[in-house]
Structure formats: structure tokens, C-alpha cells
Amino acid sequence: MNTLNDHELLVANRNFYEPLWRDAQLVEPEHFNTWPLISPLAAKATRRLEVAPGLRPRLPVDGTDFVDISMNALTKLAACGGRPVMSPIGRLPFADGTFDLLCALDIIEHVDDDRRAMAELARVAAKGATLLLSMPLHPEMWTPFDDFVGHRRRYEPKEIQTLLQHHGFTIERSAVFGMQPSSSWLLDLGMWFLTHRREKAMKWYNRIMPYTIRLQSPLQLHEGLINTDGVGEILIVCRKGMFPGNTR
């Protein structure tokens, strides 16, 4: 598990993602396997927020509010009709109950105070709002890649349930998520290039990423929380209740 403090994690995350998005092109959300899930939700939600999407947003860009720590990402999102602002998840610059649809994929594992992050998402979510959340699972599955990209933790399933319930969210559906290589040697090779040939690795990633998206399997959504045995990452569809801790 990562032992960096909050400021050090912010610096690590910015150092990793700012160069990544500098030379990257925005990939439209329609190209991701999350789109069949998100499209009908977005059609009914005019007040939308996505946290830390980089240049891989999952919500429709035009008319959506975005927060990120990368100026490169925010500039390109704005050019496509997004409403971006630089801010960490722990201090969202929006009024209470602003949004009907929120998306925070691969983000809460990057912050030191995940309870504060969830409290902010709950605060700006309207009653009945949908929250899409993803995170890596099982601390025993920790790899050097988690350290490299600035992860603070991996979650046990019970931790996720407790965290969501405490902030007034009910789990409606979930699915296996993520595209991390299952082969350890591929992961080790990628890590070597990121460590020793960083610029070349970033260019390679940005060049092939739009093509690897096509290899995504369709999301297999199930009611409630799926069986997480051996699952490295999960996508969760949540619903906001009336009060924190109210799951009805």
C-alpha cells in the first residue's frame, strides 16, 4: 500500500498524468464499453459532473462539468464543449445537490482521504442522483504499477459497501472493470519502459490507446455487488438517498 501523504500523492498523480495528456488526443466516450450504460443515463440528466477523466471522459463532453488536476486535459475538454475547472475531488467548487449524474472512475484510490472525497460527491449529488464509481480491489493484488500511478489503496469489497452506505449511496449494479494486463510479464515490461524510457512509453501509450479500446469486452452488469473473488477492479452504479446513511 502507498504510504505517501496527500500532497505527495497529488504531485505524483500530476507528474504522471500531465505529460500523458500533453500529447494525447481526446477519445470520445462513445468508444468505451461504458457507453451503453451511460448513454441512457446521460440522456435523462442535464446536470452532469465527471471527476478526473483526463482525456478519456465517459460522460458526454458537451455540457458536462469536469474537474481535473491536469491543465492539459482541461484545456482539451473545454475545446470540445466541456465546462472544466481545476480542482481536487476533496474540494469540489459546486453547490449542494447540483448534479443528477456523477462519474468518478479510477479516482478515489488516488486520494489520501477517501471519506472526504465521498462526502464531496454526496454533497454535490442531488437526491436520487446516479453515481458511477470504479476502484481497484484486494490489497493482496497490489503491484508496483499501483505505486507508479499514485494509488493510495486497493479496497476490500466490505470497505466499499461501508463507505458508500455511510454517505447515503445504494449499490444498484456492478461489473468487472479495467484493462490491466493479466500477464505479469507484460506489466513488468510496461513498468520498465515507464521507468527507463518514459517519453517513449508515453508516446507509445497515446498512439495505441485508441486502438486497444476496441478490444474491450462488453460490460456484464449484475444487480447489486458482484462476486469479487479474483476481480482486480470493479465498476459500481450507485443511487443517492435522501440523507447520508439512508439507503432507501
Mean per-residue pLDDT, 68-76: 91
How confident is the model at residue 246, as a pLDDT? 45
Residues 6+ apart with CB under 8 A from 114: 108, 152, 153, 163
CA distance 171 to 240: 9
Q: Which region among 107-121, 165-179, 213-227 has the lowest average model confidence (pLDDT)?
A: 213-227
DSSP one-letter code for 137: B
CA distance 59 to 34: 9
Q: Which residue has the higher pLDDT, 10 or 175?
A: 175
CATH number of this structure's domain 6-240? 3.40.50.150
SS3 63: coil
The full set of domain ranges for the chain reads 6-240
CA distance 42 to 60: 7
Residue 184 above 80 pLDDT? no
Q: Which residues are registered as beta bridge partners of 143?
A: none
CA distance 11 to 13: 5
Alpha helices (H) along 125-245: 144-148, 157-166, 184-196, 198-212
Q: Which three cell numbers, joined as nine digits, stand for 156?
A: 476490500
SS3 70: coil
Q: Which residues are registered as beta bridge partners of 78?
A: none
CA distance 142 to 219: 24
Q: Which three cell numbers, joined as nine digits, stand for 27?
A: 477519445
CB distance 52 to 108 below 8 Å: no
Cα–Cα distances (Å) from 189 to 192, 193, 206, 221, 240, in that order, read: 5, 6, 17, 32, 41
Q: Which residue has the higher pLDDT, 110 or 233?
A: 233
Q: Which three cell numbers, joined as nine digits, stand for 10?
A: 497529488
Q: Pairing state of beta strands 233-240 and 169-176? A: antiparallel
Mean per-residue pLDDT, 81-94: 95
CA angle in degrees (0–180, nearest 5) for 193-196-197: 60
How confident is the model at residue 143, as a pLDDT? 83
Cα–Cα distances (Å) from 12 to 19, 146, 166, 220, in that order, read: 12, 12, 29, 33
CB distance 105 to 76 below 8 Å: no
- Average of per-residue pLDDT values in the chain: 84
Mean per-residue pLDDT, 145-153: 81
